[in-house]
Structure 1
Amino acid sequence: MTPIASGGTGIAAAPRPARPARERGSPVALPAALDRPVRDDYEFVILGAGCSGLSLCHYLLEEGVDAPILILDRKTSFEDDRTWCFWDVEPTPFTHLARGEWSSWSFASEAGSVTQTTSRYPYKYLAGRDFYEHVLDRLAGSPNVTVRLGEGVGGYAEESGGVGVETSAGRVLARRVFDGRGLPPGSAAFEEARRRSVWVPQEFLGRRIRTRRDVFDPGRCTLMDFSVDQSRGLRFAYVLPTGEREALVENVYLSETGTSRQGHRSEIGAYLEGSYGLGPGEYEVMGEERGYIPMTDHRFPRRLGERVHSIGMLGGETRPSTGYAFLRIQRYCRELARAVSAGFEEPPARVHPRRLDLLDGIFLRFVRERPKECPEVYRRMFAGVPPDALVRFLTERSTPLDEARLVRALPKRPFLALAVEALLENARGRRT
């Protein structure tokens, strides 16, 4: 998502050439080769055909795993309803699918604007349909993979030699289960994380628009524009222009209040008119995407059982202080696949430096407890930290020197107080 929101890969096969970009909006069809009859037992069952589930399966195949794999998801189609963004700090099998990239990005607030530019780490824009199409095409070439859509999972239980998975279509037995179904609001995992952690909801709605005249600068994206109305809670606009007449424009709340779907649309309309002079009849809405990302320092368990592993958001792959997840998901799923191919050596508990957990927790507390001061803090961060160092921090590839630069740019007194609070809480143990 947004920055409050993403060495080699060890992959033997070169990525397939990207297909010509299709118009966004249409769903991706499940290849017939993947819609196979379901067996009674599988080596691996992956719950959830989202970013983490499909990425894990992709990496398993690249590691040479040929045991039977079943992917289950209650959704009935692969809709083009999301976008992943990340800075290009390392190779992934999906980077070449990016529809857009920017070497310059801007920040704005009532106090002014800041533009950063670096050619070293471009900011990439990956459309949901391109990711789905590419991964499903790869999976369809492997006879050991089955994907079943429209099948919900009622639960699972470990038993002798495996895990019994109850689905809406019957029961299957798996040697191991990887749960990547996310953190849906109201679920037991969602409520536990909310109760036991520092919690800031990131709620957003984005509209893909096409204008009737040249408006946008395709050479620069807007990561955070806090010059919008803040009366309902901490809020910013996010703009990814893919041409002079096309852009994804998002309305983002970091607040429990948020707004309705129609409220988001109205606020996007007001932003387009106020910032770009675009009236309602001067652009066409080509598509829409909406999301809710819990930004939390909750310590999600990597194992949900002896043979059940959590991946994606459920495994803690959303960075607490930013909401980015794509690169964390790629890093962990790659390491997990390597562990599987090596006879299931224990994968690492995390794919980021432990010291960043404390920094994330402090920053998250600041957003929750001092939201009115956040626009100025972000402005100081963008203005006071060199772009390469800031990108490395946002992608968890920072050095201690990069982190020292960030700390120097931030107001000392409030962050020191929150650091003491975080350290004391960690010393006492997490909330019960």
Structure 2
Amino acid sequence: MIAPDVDLVLVGGGGAASLVLAALGRQRLSGVRLAIVDPVRKRGQDRTWAFWGTPGTALDPLLSASWDEVDVVTPERRRVLALQPLRYAMLRSAPLYELAAGVEERLGAVRITAPAGRVVDDGDRVVVTGPDGNALVRAGWALDSRPRQPARPGRTNWLQHFRGWWLEADAPVFDPGRAVLMDFRTPQPARGVSFGYVLPVSDRFALVEYTEFSPAVLDGDAYDAALRAYADLIGLDLGALRVREVEDGVIPMTDGVFDARPTPRVVRLGTAGGATRPSTGFTFSAMARQAEDVARALADGRPPVPKPPYPARHRWMDAVQLRALDRGLTDGVAFFDRLFDRNPAERVLRFLDGTTSWAEDLSLMASSPLLPMTRAAAGDAVARISAGRRPRGSGRAGPAGG
């Protein structure tokens, strides 16, 4: 079988690729040959993305819910954050996958339902092989969104890991006008930060989730136990509710460096392309920006290379924050509480999206605990200098993840 030859191949067909397809569908493209390589055609509800941004985007028709204000709760108080001009929004996977499938069909894309192996750039074309080494497709450019380890290991490596229950009731239980962004009244791990949150789609249907920022995932049924405890804390009678769906996830929080452009014609997207925010694990907004950059570039006849997801100074600030939390220099709950207490909510959220200015970043840094963060910054500087003295190529991460 002769491998098809296309202009662009999407290696991986999940959220990042679906956002690219959705963005391509909004452009007036002509003559672009496209292929998607993935062993599974994504359908249905397999994940939920929650993110903040300005209303009126192209994704608005796909949203399940959105909120103009959210709660941040600590043992001491409940803070109601007005987000205008931003809003917090929920996008479930099914409508995005359905939209992407329609664009794929409209553009006449080649669908290769097989696992990808190597992605080889010979300087003229990119060859995507299968596990057996045979060519699946040749392309002018490859956008690879498969998860993988950082090209340079991090000095601090945590995880955002969670389990969520979609709960359904027969009578009104939830307030659809209010979401709980972070509820820190959960028992805090010895090393890390935990919180619950509630995202109501209606007064009878909501996602209730337990999340940790910490170095390791939990064992066994610990997530379910934490969710039961949180449901009890917020007054939910689980005996009167049905668990309709369960969502689990593990997202890296690391100051390791992901290689977003391993070769001239191969571009990585999503977490593999640096879209995950090291300090929180949030990914969706940067992933959506990458997709828009790619689509606009193709429409303009330029190489499909997105801008860096975050400014270099934000990556440094995240590295310092991770170090402060990991070394116990600052309390995680107190850190986030102070951040929201001393800054407008929309500034904090735009910082986490990587869109704040230098002046706003300085204000955010000034609101953080000075001595612990100074110690963390000094330790980070020493670690960077020590890493720079190692022989080139030492300590590289292993092969890509699944």
Q: Normalising by structure 1, what TM-score?
A: 0.81
After superposition, the C-alpha distances for 1:76-112 in whole angstroms (9 at most, x for unaligned) are 5424111111112376432331111111111122233
Report the Cα offset of residue 343 of structure 1. Answer: 4.3
Aligned to 1:11: none
Q: Of residues 257, 270, 273 in structure 1, which corresponds to 2:229?
A: 270
Structure 1, 342-351 or 289-298: larger mean CA deviation: 342-351
Aligned to 1:117: 82
Structure 1, 391-400 or 290-299: larger mean CA deviation: 391-400
In 2, the alpha carbon distance for the partners of 1:417 and 1:275 equals 37
Aligned to 2:50: 85
Q: Of residues 231, 247, 250 in structure 1, which corresponds to 2:206?
A: 247
Aligned to 2:119: 156
Q: Of residues 398, 402, 405 in structure 1, which corresponds to 2:360?
A: 402
In 1, the alpha carbon distance for the partners of 2:110 and 2:385 equals 46
1:345-364 equivalence runs, <5 A? 345=303, 347=305, 349-364=307-322
Q: 1:139 to 1:40 in 2, by over 3 A?
A: closer
In 1, the alpha carbon distance for the partners of 2:383 and 2:116 equals 36
Q: 1:343 to 1:76 in 2, by over 3 A?
A: closer
After superposition, the C-alpha distances for 1:84-143 in whole angstroms (9 at most, x for unaligned) are 111123764323311111111111222333221133111010011111112212222222
Q: Of residues 136, 141, 144 in structure 1, which corresponds to 2:106?
A: 141
1:383 correspondence with 2:346: no
Aligned to 1:286: 244
Q: 1:369 to 1:79 in 2, by over 3 A?
A: farther
Report the Cα offset of residue 341 of structure 1. Answer: 4.3
After superposition, the C-alpha distances for 1:291-331 in whole angstroms (9 at most, x for unaligned) are 11001122212222232221111111111112111111121
Q: Of residues 4, 9, 12 in structure 2, which corresponds to 1:48?
A: 12
Report the Cα offset of residue 371 of structure 1. Answer: 8.1
In 2, the alpha carbon distance for the partners of 1:161 and 1:45 equals 14
In 2, the alpha carbon distance for the partners of 1:311 and 1:91 equals 24
In 2, the alpha carbon distance for the partners of 1:231 and 1:161 equals 51
Where relative contact order (Cα < 8 A, 6+ residues apart) is larger, the structure is 1
In 2, the alpha carbon distance for the partners of 1:239 and 1:63 equals 39
Indicate conservation of the 8 Å contact 1:226/1:235, yes or no.
Answer: yes
Report the Cα offset of residue 204 of structure 1. Answer: 0.8
Q: 1:126 to 1:423 in 2, by over 3 A?
A: same
For the residue of structure 1 that corresponds to 2:373, the secondary structure is helix
In 1, the alpha carbon distance for the partners of 2:50 and 2:116 equals 29
After superposition, the C-alpha distances for 1:347-368 in whole angstroms (9 at most, x for unaligned) are 4551433322221211122232
Q: 1:156 to 1:406 in 2, by over 3 A?
A: closer
Q: Of residues 244, 261, 270 in structure 2, which corresponds to 1:303?
A: 261
After superposition, the C-alpha distances for 1:129-166 in whole angstroms (9 at most, x for unaligned) are 111112212222222x12233x1112232336312221
The residue type equivalent to 2:88 in the other structure is: Y
In 2, the alpha carbon distance for the partners of 1:179 and 1:391 equals 28
Q: Give the count of matched residue pairs.
A: 386
Structure 1, 120-129 or 324-333: larger mean CA deviation: 324-333
In 2, the alpha carbon distance for the partners of 1:138 and 1:345 equals 20
1:87-236 equivalence runs, <5 A? 87-89=52-54, 92-143=57-108, 145-149=109-113, 151-159=114-122, 161-167=124-130, 171=135, 172-183=137-148, 189=149, 193=152, 195-231=153-189, 233=191, 234-236=193-195
For the residue of structure 1 that corresponds to 2:118, the secondary structure is strand
Uncovered stretches (5+) of structure 2, i.e. residues with no partner: 395-402
Aligned to 1:333: 291
What is the alpha-carbon root mean square deviation over aligned residues?
A: 2.6
Q: 1:417 to 1:50 in 2, by over 3 A?
A: same
The residue type equivalent to 1:158 in the other structure is: D
Aligned to 2:270: 312
Report the Cα offset of residue 208 of structure 1. Answer: 0.6
The residue type equivalent to 1:109 in the other structure is: T
Indicate conservation of the 8 Å contact 2:157/2:215, yes or no.
Answer: no
In 2, the alpha carbon distance for the partners of 1:209 and 1:232 equals 29
Q: 1:182 to 1:63 in 2, by over 3 A?
A: farther
Q: 1:316 to 1:91 in 2, by over 3 A?
A: farther
In 2, the alpha carbon distance for the partners of 1:66 and 1:180 equals 24
For the residue of structure 1 that corresponds to 2:58, the secondary structure is coil
Indicate conservation of the 8 Å contact 1:163/1:176, yes or no.
Answer: yes
Q: Normalising by structure 2, what TM-score?
A: 0.87
Structure 1, 174-183 or 340-349: larger mean CA deviation: 340-349
The residue type equivalent to 1:275 in the other structure is: I
For the residue of structure 2 that corresponds to 1:258, the secondary structure is coil
In 2, the alpha carbon distance for the partners of 1:121 and 1:338 equals 24
Report the Cα offset of residue 56 of structure 1. Answer: 2.3
Indicate conservation of the 8 Å contact 1:232/1:258, yes or no.
Answer: no
For the residue of structure 1 that corresponds to 2:146, the secondary structure is coil
The residue type equivalent to 1:226 in the other structure is: F
